[in-house]
Structure 1
Amino acid sequence: MAHIREGIDEEKKACFTLDDQGVLWFKNRLVVPKDMELRKKILDEAHTSVLTMHPGSNKMYQDLKQKFWWTRMKREIAKYVSECDVCKRVKADHLKPGGMLQPLNIPAWKWEDIHMDFVVGLPRTQKGYDSIWVIIDRFTKSAHFLPVKTVYRANMYAELYIAKIVSLHGVPRTITSDRGSVFVSRFWEQLQNALGTRLIHSSAYHPQTSGQVERVNQIVEDMLRACALTYSTKWDECLPLAEFAYNNSYQKSLNMAPFEALYGRRCRTPLNWSEPGERVTFGPDLVTQAEEQVKFIQSNLKSAQSRQKSYSDRRRRPLVFEKGDHVYLRVSPIKGVHRFGVKGKLAPRYVGPFKITEQSVHDVFHVSQLKKYIRVPEEEVDTSQVQIEPDLTYEARPIKILDQKQRSTRWNTVNFYKVQWSDHSEEEATWETEEYLQTKHP
């Protein structure tokens, strides 16, 4: 083995040559000495120059190795690119989604823990309905599909909730929903607080928290598409039948129909007027039967959750963050940061870095929306000045009018203002119309 190593070293030494000017070459590549400042200048030019535009580590290595050589060159380039602040902010991820699946706890009883969401954008019916309020029991999977109007206020939803849910099933312990305007309104929160119900909001851009209701939304939409062939825009007339069909159909996670889990048996239909060997249960036997059914449902739900987690985690990668780590936060690429004089698609994908102060369950950013910051930042970011909206958007606000001009057309005159935005310099100011400023920033 030592003889082989000596042979390899001799071959490698033969690749080095010294020219007349005393410059060392490795084959036809210039050898860069162990001068970290010099190497950094080379890396900066190859990565941040306007002629290179932040290439990835492999592309950057392939370009540099044509001209330069030094030991562990590829490793240093990979480390340099991984620490590039601009790359972390603007480049899309091509990795598996971060964070393993964390299922919600299995409820202990019927209609104690519920999901709710809206199916919107439906054709307006003669009665004015254009949306469906979907409310699901997490335990029995039974659901109510309530036709509603987008113009409803929170108090109207509260009246409907009392009439259709509380009157039939009692007051739930928890309600899981997204961050829709109705569910985060002060009136709705005060109502649920008075009833003793805890609200659980999914984190932004993570609908998997309400994955069950999202799946039911798809089922409802498919049912209504089938009904639309006959009922056209009168989908609200077949909605009660769609609710019955869903609740009386077999659910794999339960190994029974929602009605069977809720009432102990399926409801009768023209195909099934009575159960074979139908019998009536009274007294202690009824209680025992109900307890056994609850245990059976819980066992089936645990098996379904375990199976779902196994399938989901195959397409995910674990992400572990500790208190004190620094991370970037993903924001909406459409509404995102107003920076570099642009808005919308060209805005950075991430903002930060920010320091992790606590780990929690809800009302925080999901781990999949975070990207680890490789090195400790030289300057601590003042997070109090960065106003992230609940939907993970960050929109800069106008703080100063720098200039004004007018443009006249054949029909009218348009006023333009040069606006300096919050957290940005005057060089990044943009020209905006008076109408835009009055609409977006009154």
Structure 2
Amino acid sequence: MVVMNIWLCHFGLTNFLASFQNLVNDIFADFLDIFAVVYLDDIMVFSSSQEEHVASVLQRLRDNNLFSKASSVEYLGYVVTSEVLKMNSSKVQQILNWPQPKNIKALQSFLGFAIFYCCVIENYSKKISALTSLLKKDSPFIFDEEALSQFQILKEAFTTAPILSHFNPSLPTIVDTDASDYALGAVLSEVNDSGKHPISFDSRKLLPAELNYEIHDKELLGIV
């Protein structure tokens, strides 16, 4: 009988992510939501005693034979500072280098990657309307000029995506909404001494019944 002891995760193990999340939840159980948030291998420390709590997290990792990259400032694909949030430049470059999808599976892969960062893109749902229409069942996959144009526009949008501010409850907050024939868009912003700054963007396609709304009703719906 041969007994195998796996030291590193093998590709294709579908239950690995859940198992690893359970592991880190157990390791940091007494830290969670007190001064740390852990999602898989991303650890965020929030504290007025940052150095002390970072040291506590690092020591807990050492005690359990886990290691971290000290130079990393990325959390879930975003670069986070005490004041702003923005996309990691490597993720932007990955989107820019993405080849034109040749089939539904390739398009789903691109949109699945892009939607994770939709909070930095204004009117995201409107920008991908021609692309999502290609995902309909029993419809031929024809990547026409409109789809190609939206594909390029979306990639360009990621290169010009604004840096987002963190929500500050002490500052004035503004909600702006927009609507087209088939999609809603909204942006949450705050106003400080240097002007108006976005906090997050949101958007979605209109439901069939909502397509019949007047434009002002669609914009009001964006607030909801």
Same-fold call, TM cutoff 0.5: no
Q: Which has the greater radius of gyration?
A: 1
RCO (CA 8 Å, sep 6+): is it higher in 1 or 2? 2
Shorter-chain TM-score: what band? under 0.3
Q: Could you tell me the TM-score, scaled by structure 1's length?
A: 0.13
TM-score normalised by the chain length of structure 2: 0.21
